[in-house]
Amino acid sequence: MEAEKKEDKKDDKKAGRKAFPRLSFSFIKILTGSDLSNRRLPIMVAKGEKPGPTVWLTGCAHGDEVDAIVVIQEIFKILKKSPLLKGTLYAFPIMNPIGFETISRQVTLSEEDLNRSFPGNEKGSLAERIAYKIFATIINTKPALVLDLHSSWRGSVPYAFIDKDEKITNRDAYEKTKVFAKKSGFLTVYEADILEQSLTFSLINKGIPALTIELGESYVVNEKNVEYGVKSVLNILSYLEMTEPQEEFVYPTLPAAFEGKTICYSDKPFSSTSGIIRFLVKTGDIVKKGQPLAKIYNTFGRLLETMIASDDCVILGFSDFSVAFPGGLVIVVGIIK
């Protein structure tokens, strides 16, 4: 870490206790630009007065997913007033500063997906080098949990996202991840594909429980989803006894009908034609197999296609755009099994 650092110290003199650094903010250098400026990753740390678990919050691996940054900021504001009882909370609020500044999902300079570059490579591509620094920093703290905060599709409901279990070699870390998903207060959704180079997959195979939380839509700060994200993180910190006990948060539209069910992520059906999309359902709706989801019209208003649910499912989110192309993504659902 660079020497540049700012600390908020707790003033406990009146209480007769020794002051200690409660919050600290610093940077990790990632590269030197052609103008000789340093590009850096901000890192935040909150320490409790007693030893305890180490937890990481990570955000903005994709530069257009901004809610995570604000959730992390709000968590640290809370901890400034009400310190951790024990343990340490670390955070990388912006893992992809280059993508964030250009409102891009990718590491813009190299057009790479940072969350498909882990565990990274010290001498690899730009994204692999950034991923290496992030991964090594996290691993060195031996955390009990990593919460990787993302955003999903337009209008998306928040949900906890667990990696597909194929090729997971550390079953203990994977089972612990599923427990933390339940404690998040969100609907648990299982990934459909094997993402071996994602942050969470790479961490789990290193024996570290790691959970993705999808906070809602991208591009903008959705204050309601920020509120839910903060409550979800506090749920987990309370479960680990790092904070005072609090009323357990459960996402308000989480139906009891999902108890005991497995929800699997799906971005199908794809569009088979070009046109303008008009949705017939809302995010959070539970729909039956065969139910119409959306209609696609041509320029003159002629109906070209009605998209049908292939299974019983819950609507998770919509495409960010209203235009459809053959083979294009239109809707994201959680298939109920």
> Residue 299: helix, strand or coil by DSSP?
coil
What one-letter code names the amino acid at 282? K
pLDDT value at residue 258:
77
Same domain, 308 and 159: no
Query: Residue 217 CA to chain centroid, in angstroms?
Result: 11
Q: List the chain pLDDT tens, one digit each, 337 residues.
A: 443 344 444 444 443 444 445 899 999 998 887 777 788 999 999 999 899 999 999 999 999 999 999 999 999 999 999 999 999 999 999 999 999 999 999 999 899 999 999 999 999 999 999 999 999 999 999 999 999 999 998 889 999 999 999 999 999 999 999 999 999 999 999 999 999 999 999 999 999 999 999 998 899 999 999 999 999 999 999 999 999 998 899 998 666 667 778 999 999 999 999 999 999 999 999 999 999 999 999 999 999 999 999 999 999 999 988 999 999 999 999 999 8
* CA 217/CA 176 separation, integer angstroms: 27
Quick one: 192 and 288 in the same domain?
Answer: no
Domain containing 332 — which CATH number? 2.40.50.100
In a shared domain, residues 177 and 313:
no
Task: Give the gyration radius of the chain's Cα atoms.
Answer: 21
Number of other residues whose CB lies within 10 A of the CB of residue 282:
10
Residue 245 lies in a domain: no
Q: Which pLDDT score, from 0 to 100, does residue 255 have?
A: 62
Residue 266 shares a structural domain with residue 191: no
In the prediction, which pLDDT does 246 show? 85
- Domain-located, residue 244: no
* Pairwise CA distance, residues 86 & 104, whole Å: 37
Q: Same domain, yes or no, for 301 and 213?
A: no
Do 172 and 223 share a domain, yes or no? yes
Same domain, 42 and 157: yes
At 3 the pLDDT is 37
**Structural domains counted in the chain:** 2
Does 253 fall in a domain? no
Give the global pTM. Answer: 0.91
d(CA 270, CA 331): 8
The range of the structural domain enclosing residue 131 comes to 5-239
Q: What is the maximum alpha-carbon separation in the chain?
A: 77
| pLDDT at 21 (0 to 100) | 57
21 contacts 12 by C-beta, under 8 angstroms = no
Q: At what angle do helices 223-239 and 67-81 cross, to 10 degrees?
A: 50
Q: Tell whether 248 is covered by a domain.
A: no
Q: Is residue 13 part of a domain?
A: yes
The set of residues, in sequence order, having a beta carbon less than 8 Å from that of 263 and lying 6+ positions away, is 187, 188, 189, 190, 314, 334, 335, 336, 337
Residues 40 and 174 both lie in one domain: yes
Q: Is residue 12 part of a domain?
A: yes
Give the DSSP letter string of 24-38. EEEEEEEEE-TTSPE
